[in-house]
């Protein structure tokens, strides 16, 4: 079977299965079985697929994914995240688009404590969206910031998907996690500035309202009680990695213990929310590990058939400049992001992209950050962006998908601009890891 037929069957089979509504895990397993039988040699291929699965899930580098997800679930189910957002709410006074700005600041803080984009969007949506709509905020300036900042959790450590991407691409997890910090903070600052400028130009988007008069002490006290103690979790995760004290796996374990300890200090931990956090973590982790199992065989089939090498040779022979090659990859990811979830995109493209990145002499960590930005954008791109449906679930009944699409569009444009900035200035992503992880 020639490599063109193999790649057509593999990619076409996955897309067809997803369109038929088959879950991603079973879509890839089904295609892998077909590939193992017809490409890897029948029974021998099936045995090799089983061996691949065993070695794939035994990877020590995947442990942080589970622990980062657990941290986010603890934050969500113990109510610590909601208390922190309420404390930030008291800190702000009369500024244009006040609640939307609170969403950006609160979402950025929660992103540094949780590796889950879904949890981030759900917490902000349930906490702030009802207040925004009750105050007369337009959908563009209420739902849009919540979805946009929800995706930033993919860039700021702890990020489960960043760990998964680094593991699948076989590059440094530490470098990828640290490299996402500056782009994420700059993007959050751009969202904040956009809200302020837009609401100053058009105040009707976010009507002003009376705020309870509080002294400085009353405004700052909740910050010290409910926000600053959460820095313990961030220091446990990022500080231990930056200081060379712990590996990503060990820092994730420290972060999980710190999350439980902080929640216990607030007397927010009980058997019910702990069990619920564990259940949600196990559900998500099982899906991720099945995906990793399928990924190893999928990559092997492409390599064995000659597809990976042939495509690399074909593109290399076109004599494209590295930047044009990079932009073509990012464009393809943006198109795929309209129809596929983030894990599927990584599994489909990384086996083909990483050899090309290496052959072109491009920095792999830089590419990983750019890919994370595109994956973040794809969370909000119609028609199948995951956070669009999360928002629909927390928005008031009667909110149309068209309204949700329109609300997030300006923020997608901002993210696209930042993607191009990182392409033009790689130091935005590479300076921090090079400075602290020498």
Query: Would the pLDDT of 312 be above 70?
Result: no
Query: Would the pLDDT of 421 be above 90?
Result: yes
What digits encode the pLDDT tens for the residues 186-234?
A: 999 999 999 999 999 998 888 877 666 767 777 788 888 888 888 888 8
The CA distance from 166 to 174, in Å, is 9
- Other C-beta atoms lying within 10 Å of the C-beta of residue 25: 17
Which pLDDT band holds residue 103 (cuts at 50, 70, 90)?
Answer: confident
Give the ranges where 202-267 is alpha helix by DSSP (H).
Answer: 216-222, 231-234, 240-242, 248-265
The CA distance from 146 to 126, in Å, is 10
State residue 383's pLDDT score: 65
Its pTM stands at: 0.76
What digits encode the pLDDT tens for the residues 385-418?
A: 778 877 877 777 777 778 888 888 999 999 999 9
Average pLDDT, stretch 116-144? 80
Which pLDDT band holds residue 370 (cuts at 50, 70, 90)?
Answer: very high
Question: 124 near 107, Cβ under 8 Å?
Answer: yes
Which pLDDT band holds residue 305 (cuts at 50, 70, 90)?
Answer: confident
State residue 393's pLDDT score: 75
The CA distance from 299 to 293, in Å, is 11
């Amino acid at each position: 079977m020639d490599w063109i037929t193999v790649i057509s069957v593999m990619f076409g089979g996955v897309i067809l299965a997803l369109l038929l509504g088959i879950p991603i895990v079973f879509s890839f397993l089904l295609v892998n079985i077909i590939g193992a039988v017809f490409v890897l040699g029948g029974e021998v291929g099936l045995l090799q697929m089983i061996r691949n699965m065993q070695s794939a899930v035994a990877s020590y580098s995947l442990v942080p994914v589970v622990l980062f997800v657990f941290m986010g679930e603890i934050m969500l189910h113990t109510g610590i995240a909601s208390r922190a957002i309420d404390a930030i709410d008291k800190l702000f006074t009369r500024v244009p688009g006040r609640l939307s700005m609170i969403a950006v600041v609160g979402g950025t803080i929660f992103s540094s404590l949780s590796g889950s984009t879904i949890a981030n969007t759900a917490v902000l949506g349930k906490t702030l969206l009802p207040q925004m709509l009750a105050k007369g905020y337009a959908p563009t300036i209420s739902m849009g910031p919540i979805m946009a900042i929800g995706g930033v959790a993919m860039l700021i450590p702890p990020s489960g998907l960043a760990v998964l991407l680094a593991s699948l691409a076989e590059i440094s997890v530490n470098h990828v996690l640290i490299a996402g910090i500056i782009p994420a903070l700059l993007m959050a600052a751009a969202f904040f500035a956009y809200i302020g400028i837009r609401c100053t130009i058009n105040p009707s988007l976010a009507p002003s309202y009376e705020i309870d008069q509080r002294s400085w002490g009353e405004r700052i006290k909740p910050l010290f009680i409910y926000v600053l103690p959460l820095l313990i979790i961030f220091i446990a995760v990022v500080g231990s990695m930056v200081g060379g004290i712990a590996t990503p796996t060990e820092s994730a374990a420290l972060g999980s213990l710190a999350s439980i300890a902080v929640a216990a200090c607030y007397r927010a931990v009980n058997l019910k929310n702990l069990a619920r956090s564990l259940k949600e973590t196990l559900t998500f982790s099982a899906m991720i590990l099945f995906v990793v199992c399928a990924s190893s065989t999928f990559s092997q089939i492409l390599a064995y058939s000659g597809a990976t090498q042939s495509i690399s040779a074909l593109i290399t022979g076109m004599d494209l400049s590295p930047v044009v090659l990079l932009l073509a990859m990012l464009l393809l990811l943006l198109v795929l992001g309209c129809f596929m979830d983030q894990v599927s995109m990584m599994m489909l493209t990384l086996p083909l992209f990483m050899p090309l990145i290496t052959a072109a002499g491009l920095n792999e960590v830089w590419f990983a950050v750019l890919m994370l930005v595109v994956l973040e954008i794809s969370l909000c791109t119609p028609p199948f962006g995951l956070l669009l449906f999360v928002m629909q679930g927390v928005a008031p009944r009667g909110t149309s998908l068209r309204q949700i699409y329109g609300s997030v569009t300006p923020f997608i444009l901002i993210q696209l601009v930042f993607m191009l900035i990182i392409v033009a200035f790689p130091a935005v992503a590479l300076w921090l890891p090079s400075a602290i992880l020498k």
